[in-house]
Amino acid sequence: MSFSDLPFDVGPVYEGERIRGNQMYVELGGPKSEFKFELCRVKPAKDIKDGNVELIGPDITDMEVGSRYPIGIYVEVAGAQLEEDLEAVFERRIHEFCNFINGVMHLNQRYTTWMRISKQLVEKGFNTLKMMGTVLIRLFKAELNIIEKAQVTLYTDPKEIKKIHKMAMDVYNARDERARGLHDEDVDMFYGCVLCQSFAPTHACAITPDRTSLCGSINWFDARAAAKVDPKGPIYEVPPGECLDLVAGHYTGVDAMIKKRSLGEIEQIYLYSGMEYPHTSCGCFEAIDFFLPEIGGHGIIDRSHDGTAINGLPFSAMANQTGGGKQMPGFNGISIQYIASPKYQQYDGGIETIVWMGKNLKDRVAEFLPADLVDKIATEEDVNDINGLQAWLEEKKHPIIETDAYKMAVGGEEEEEEEEEYGAAGAMVPMGTQTFTVPGAGGMGGFKVILKNCKIHAEAIIIKKMDGKRKK
Ligand code: SF4
């Protein structure tokens, strides 16, 4: 495989490249674009024009610097050994392969694709998006040699993309629906994935029927098919081993996998908890389950949420806290599909601890939530701060108000009013692995102290203004 006929470099070394707003020639998809998707489908060989790239819509030379367009990446492949279950696994490689191009930044997956093309790349001669399609075809055929033929169609036309976007959404929904019928106790093999280790070196996904991968792209069926055709590849079998705790989803096989794949950094995982030994989070998660210490319950924000969550933080700020391969109690990267699982964070109290969700996300998963809970989960349209949330939960008789966690969380209020210097009472700050440095004499040398999996529980947090004149 060679890219010498193209005016730019291609290779894994460019993965992780960031393109900031002032370096960007054009943005494709992303949170401000309504239509974006990437899809891979297996087709009969006769339907594929091998190597062909089509572009439907404006090309690079038609786009103004700093502009934004929708993007659809539709890859069709054929091969004697290919089966439908492999589609999602191939599709996930679109992210990786686009990032191989020096000057292309690709984030996310499925219907959340977000790309930027750098000015520098266009200056080098990247004057048509078709070049990206050519790179994809060559990489697909070289890296996945069971693919014999491939063609790519790219969509940038705001009208034309709508129809194919609907088809892509139907395919994603059909995949998810099939996966919802299977549960962890029905299978004797789990799977793992390390595709995101280039961004998050200590992260490995444990993929089980109840816990679809964080990116939402690879369910248990997809992972099984991938591990079968390429057992030494990035998606592999994980024998569950002994189940030490059914409610937590604590399996010796999953622990062994994460310990090995994180090079000893992470020792154990509770599959169904965001608070104790939570699953690591890379950066591709579809949503974040976050703890609300003032309520003793949880909120969920997804990537498409515009604005802040009930805790005052936007998705991007929480994503920084959550991702990078860390194990961060209180902030857990999840797939949207996992919310529909009956095992959803069951170790922490399950779906009934969810007190707030972004409106779009809630509408999307409402049919999978317990019918009597749906109207009791607040969104940004119902409340906009924690005090309002507490009143809402009590008015709606959300089941959280009967829990000890809620009573303890809201119980410190009187004390808080009496003593002005108390900023927050009873706050548990999830800290995960914390590192700090104790400097040596003169600021040289010293020690690094690593506290693994620590939780800091504060009776109160006191914030005092420092008097600059006072001797420290
Ligand atoms: S989020 Fe998980 S399953 Fe998805 S590509 Fe990354 S490591 Fe693989």
Place of tokens 């004149």: 469
CB of 98 shorter than 6 A to ligand 1: no
Which of 181-185, 197-201, 454-458 is least confident?
Answer: 454-458
Q: Which atom of ligand 1 sits closest to the CA of residue 197? A: 7
From residue 271, give the alpha-carbon distance in Å to each of 206, 216, 241. Answer: 8, 15, 14
Residue whose Cα lies nearest atom 5 of ligand 1: it is 195
Q: Which atom of ligand 1 sits closest to the CA of residue 214? A: 1
Half-sphere CA count of 442, side-chain side, radius 13 A: 2
Average pLDDT, the chain: 89
Look at residue 34 and give its three-state secondary structure.
Answer: coil
Q: Is 359 exposed, middle or buried (0-12, 13-18, 19+ CB in 10 A)?
A: middle
Which of 108-112, 241-245, 425-429 is least confident?
Answer: 425-429
* Run of H or E residues at 415: helix 413-418
CB of 94 shorter than 6 A to ligand 1: no
Residue whose Cα lies nearest atom 3 of ligand 1: it is 213
Largest CA distance in the chain: 82
pLDDT at residue 348 above 50? yes
Higher-confidence position of 458 and 186? 186
pLDDT at residue 414 above 70? no
Strand order in the sheet with 67-69: 67-69, 24-29, 114-118, 104-107
Architecture (CATH level 2) of domain 182-410: 3-Layer(aba) Sandwich (3.40)
Architecture (CATH level 2) of domain 12-178: 2-Layer Sandwich (3.30)
Pocket test for ligand 1, best of 195, 230, 303 (most atoms within 8 A of CB): 195
Nearest to 183 by CA among 257, 90, 246, 263: 246
Convert the pLDDT of each residue in 31-53 to its tens digit: 889 999 999 999 999 999 999 99
At 272, list the tokens: 């169904």
Give 416 Cα–ligand 1 centroid separation in angstroms: 43
- Of all residues in the chain, the percent with pLDDT exceeding 70 is 87
pLDDT in the model for residue 238: 97
- CB 229, CB 360: distance < 8 Å: no
Altogether, the residues listed in the chain come to a count of 472
CB of 215 shorter than 6 A to ligand 1: yes
Domain spans, the chain = 12-178, 182-410, 428-462
pLDDT in the model for residue 242: 97
Residue whose Cα lies nearest atom 6 of ligand 1: it is 196
**Which residues in 305-327 are b (16+ Cβ under 10 Å) and which e?**
beebbbbebebeebbebbbbbbb
- CB 58, CB 157: distance < 8 Å: yes
